[in-house]
Chains A and B, each alone.
Chain A
Amino acid sequence: MVQFSTARLDASFAALSDATRRGVLEQLGRSEASITELADRFHMTLTGMKKHVGVLEQAGLVTTQKIGRVRTCRLGRRDLDEEAAWIDGRRRVWNERFDALESVVEALKRKEASDGRDNG
């Protein structure tokens, strides 16, 4: 099971809680678009759209690339999956270690308890 980081999940849900931003994701699912194009399509100011895209970008749902004066937006899903897979790999390593550490701590506790009993 892939366990996403909670910070990332929070950011993703916050990003998806807005109808315009969901519309932007649908739009970018069809094709990449510049901020200007997105602003036109959703009848918004450039500044307003920049904010929305910023939120989506923060959540890793969208990536943007500035070429010249045009900032192009596209879905960032692939990056997100790769990142989640990497983090999940790290989590598995630590989880395995910590399961073993837990056993060690348990053994130490038992030893301490029995030593304590021995010493009265």
Chain B
Amino acid sequence: MGETMGKTGGETGGDGRTTIEQRSDRELVVTRIFDGPVRLVFDAWTKADLFKLWWVPKSGGMNLKSCEMDVRTGGGYRLVFDLGEQGSMAFFGKYLEVVPLTRLVWTNDEGEEGAVTTVTFEEEDGKTRLVLREVYPSKEAFDAERGAEGALPEQFDQLDALLASLAASA
């Protein structure tokens, strides 16, 4: 116990290291160890008020406008980002599996062939080993996603079109 008490200023017993690995032609695996028990880490993934505090990468210039999470098998989630003048962008999907303190599986339905994300939580000596898997439905979908970073203007065009159609139908 004394060992964690003695730590100072932002230092933690987690490994502070995010590893990422492409496991197959359509699967990406991200792992990290957090210095805290699963019950706390799991809370941070499943309670919207906590989730909002960390999910949005600060360097991305995006603000989370709203965050709705119905964390149970079959429940849905919806995250809406404010893009300033470019309107907003929603990420949404369904929880395929929710096993408290163990496992979360959800779909990413904002795109046509979105990945299924699986997060598993394992506790060891008060720490949590977190493994996140993104599995795309096909190699083609994965490759398309990999090309997506260079295609941002196109995505914004699509978004504009989508927003226009939503505005028209509203």
Which of A83, A94, A100, A104 has most chain B Cβ within 10 Å?
Answer: A104
Indicate if the CB atoms of B20 and A87 lie closer than 8 Å. yes
- B159 on interface, CB distance cutoff 8 Å: no
Indicate if the CB atoms of A102 and B58 lie closer than 8 Å. no
With A83-B146, A108-B44, A109-B36 as given contacts, are A103 and B20 in contact (CB-CB < 8 Å)? no
Indicate if the CB atoms of B12 and A102 lie closer than 8 Å. yes
Report the Cα distance A92→B149, complex, angstroms.
13
Specify which of B12, B16, B53 is in contact with A100 (CB 8 Å cutoff): B53
- A3 on interface, CB distance cutoff 8 Å: yes
Specify which of A7, A82, A87, A102 is in contact with B14 (CB 8 Å cutoff): A102
Min distance, Cβ B29 to any Cβ of chain A, angstroms: 9
Counting residue pairs across A and B whose Cβ atoms lie within 8 Å, the total is 89
With A83-B146, A91-B18, A95-B18 as given contacts, are A104 and B28 in contact (CB-CB < 8 Å)? no
Q: Which of B1-25 contact A (CB under 8 A)?
A: 10, 12, 14, 16, 18-23
- A112 on interface, CB distance cutoff 8 Å: yes
Q: Which residues of A contact B44 (CB under 8 A)?
A: 101, 104-105, 108
Q: Name B58's closest neighbour in chain A (CB-CB).
A: A96
Which of B10, B16, B20 has most chain A Cβ within 10 Å?
Answer: B20
Q: Is the interface of A mostly helix, strand, loop or mixed?
A: helix
Report the Cα distance A112→B146, complex, angstroms.
41
Instruction: Name 19 A/B residue pairs within 8 A (Cβ), A-sorted.
Output: A6-B21, A86-B149, A90-B28, A90-B30, A92-B57, A94-B18, A94-B20, A96-B58, A97-B54, A100-B54, A102-B35, A103-B10, A105-B41, A106-B12, A106-B36, A108-B40, A108-B43, A108-B44, A112-B40
Interface residues of A (CB under 8 A from B): 3, 5-8, 82-83, 86-87, 89-106, 108-109, 112
Interface residues of B (CB under 8 A from A): 10, 12, 14, 16, 18-23, 28, 30, 32, 34-36, 40-41, 43-44, 50, 53-60, 128, 130, 132, 146, 149
